[in-house]
Amino acid sequence: MIDLFYKFKEFTKPEEYRQMGIYPYFHCLESRQAKEVVMEGKRRIMLGSNNYLGLTTNEDVIAAAHAALDKYGTGCSGSRFMNGSLDLHVTLEKELAKFLHKEAALTFTTGFSTNLGIISSLVGRNDYVICDRENHASIYDGCKLSYGNMMRYHHSDMDGLEACLRRVPENAGCLVVTDGIFSMRGDICRLPEIVELCRKYGARILVDDAHSLGVIGEGGRGTASHFGLENEVDVVMCTFSKSLASLGGCLASTAAVADYVKHTSRPFMFSASLPPANAASALAALHVLEAHPELPRRLMEISDYTRETFKKHGIKIVEAKTPIVPIYTKSADYTLELARNLFDAGVYVNPVLPPATPEGECLLRVSLMATVTEDLVDEAAGIIKTEMDKLDAKYGYNG
C-alpha cells in the first residue's frame, strides 16, 4: 500500500508562487464588501466582487439580517427535511417563485449545493446530462453525483450540442445544462438555439442563473427573461451570494419538480438549512431589487463604461455585454505577477488560469458593481494600463 499523502510531494505550484511573491489567493478583507475596500491594511478599488448590485452594504438588507438573528437565533441546527424549516424559508421560496414567474422554488444552503442537489436528483443512472464545456464546476460535480451519462459540447457550439442530443437513446431521459452568463468570459448562453434543439429532441433544460439574477432580463429576472423564454426553460438555478447579497441558492420550476427534488435530493435532505440571517437578507435584497429596477440598468451602464474606458487605454478585453469584463493576459506567471502588482497599486482583480480558462489562455477577471463610479473606473484603468506596460517591457512583449 502506498501512502495516501504521496500526492502532496508533487503539489508544489502554490509554494512556488509564494516563493516568487505572486501567490494571488486568500487576501484578507478588513471592511465591508463595497466598491472600495480595505484589504490587508490598504485601500483597494474592488473590481473583483460578485456583489453585482452592491447590496451587501444596503441598510435594509443589514437590518433584516439583524432582525432575523434576534427572532430566530444564529442557526437552524437541522435540515429542512427535519427540524430546520422556518416560516422565513417558506416565505423566501414563495417570493422567489413569484419573482421568477415559476410555480415553486426551493432553497439550498449554498449555490454549489444547489446545482449538486438539482442535477443529482433529476438525472438518474440511465439518463443523460449534456453540458457546455465552460459550465461552472458545481454543474460538473452535480453530473458526477447523479451517476448519469455526461456529454459535453464545445463552448456555445450548437452543432456540438445537437450532435450530443442525437446520441441520446430514445429510451433515456436527457437534461441540458448551461450557465446563463458564463462566469469567466462574461458571455451569455445561446438560449434561443438551445431551447429550439431541446424541444426538437425532447430534452429538458436547466439554466444556471448564478451570474444572471439581478443582472439581465426584465427587472433582473435572468437569462430566460432576457430572451423572452421564461415558459421554455424547465428549471432555473439561482444563487444568493451575488446580487442578493447573502449566501444560499434556489431551484425555481414547477411545483412537481420542486416537490420531487425536496424528497430525493441528498444535498438538500442531508444539509442543515439556510441560517435565518442569510434567508432574511436574501429576501430583503429581493425586495430592494423589486423596488429598484434601475439597479440592473445602472450595473449595465457602468459595465459598458468600463469596457469603453479599457479600450481607450488599449487594454484588450473579451467582448461581452455583462458586468464581467475579462482582460486578456499572457502566461500564468505574467498574469499572477500583474495581479500582484495591481493589488499593490490599489486595484483588486481576480486572475484566472487554466483549467478555469481554456489551455493557453489566461485572464484578469474584472467584475463590476452597480455602485462603482466612473471616477473609480478611470482611476483603475490608468493603474491597469501603467502596470501592464511595465510588465510588457519586463517580459519583452509588444503590447
C-alpha–C-alpha distance, residues 206 and 190, integer Å: 13
The mean pLDDT of 29-33, rounded to a whole number, is 95
- Of the pLDDT bands very low, low, confident and very high (cuts 50, 70, 90), residue 354 is confident
- The 10s digit of each residue's pLDDT in 92-129 is 999 999 999 999 999 999 999 999 999 999 999 999 99
Task: From the candidates 89, 102, 211, 262, give the one annotated as an active-site residue.
Answer: 211
User: What residue spans in the chain does CATH classification 3.90.1150.10 cover?
Assistant: 4-56+293-395
- The 10s digit of each residue's pLDDT in 40-88 is 999 999 999 999 999 999 999 999 999 999 999 999 999 999 999 999 9
* End-to-end alpha carbon distance in the chain: 52
Looking at residue 396, its pLDDT comes to 84
C-alpha–C-alpha distance, residues 396 and 194, integer Å: 43
The mean pLDDT of 195-224, rounded to a whole number, is 98
In the structure grid, which three cell numbers stand for residue 17, read together? 508562487
- Exposed/middle/buried for residue 124 (C-beta within 10 Å: 0-12, 13-18, 19+): middle
CATH 3.10.270.10 is right for the domain spanning 4-56+293-395 = no
Looking at residue 48, its pLDDT comes to 96
- Of the pLDDT bands very low, low, confident and very high (cuts 50, 70, 90), residue 357 is confident
Contacts of 158 (CB under 8 A, 6+ apart): 190, 193, 194, 197
The mean pLDDT of 353-365, rounded to a whole number, is 86
In the residue annotation, 183 being an active-site residue is answered as yes
Residue 245 has pLDDT above 80, yes or no: yes
C-alpha–C-alpha distance, residues 141 and 110, integer Å: 14
In the residue annotation, 385 being an active-site residue is answered as no
Q: Report the number of secondary-structure helices (H) and strands (E) in the chain.
A: 15, 13
- Exposed/middle/buried for residue 263 (C-beta within 10 Å: 0-12, 13-18, 19+): exposed
The mean pLDDT of 193-210, rounded to a whole number, is 98
- The 10s digit of each residue's pLDDT in 120-164 is 999 999 999 999 999 999 999 999 999 999 999 999 999 999 999
Residue 19 has pLDDT above 90, yes or no: yes
Looking at residue 168, its pLDDT comes to 98
φ, ψ dihedrals at 32, nearest 5°: -65, 155
- Of the pLDDT bands very low, low, confident and very high (cuts 50, 70, 90), residue 229 is very high
- The 10s digit of each residue's pLDDT in 276-295 is 999 999 999 999 999 999 99
User: What residue spans in the chain does CATH classification 3.40.640.10 cover?
Assistant: 58-291
Looking at residue 399, its pLDDT comes to 53
The mean pLDDT of 22-43, rounded to a whole number, is 95
Task: From the candidates 49, 120, 183, 265, give the one annotated as an active-site residue.
Answer: 183
In the residue annotation, 102 being an active-site residue is answered as no
Average per-residue pLDDT for the chain: 96
**CATH for 58-291 (3.40.640.10, 3.90.550.10, 2.40.50.430, 3.40.190.10):** 3.40.640.10
C-alpha–C-alpha distance, residues 64 and 18, integer Å: 41
Percent of the chain past pLDDT 90, that is, above it, reads 94
Q: Maximum distance among all alpha carbons in the chain?
A: 62
- Exposed/middle/buried for residue 282 (C-beta within 10 Å: 0-12, 13-18, 19+): buried
Task: From the candidates 35, 226, 242, 262, give the one annotated as an active-site residue.
Answer: 242
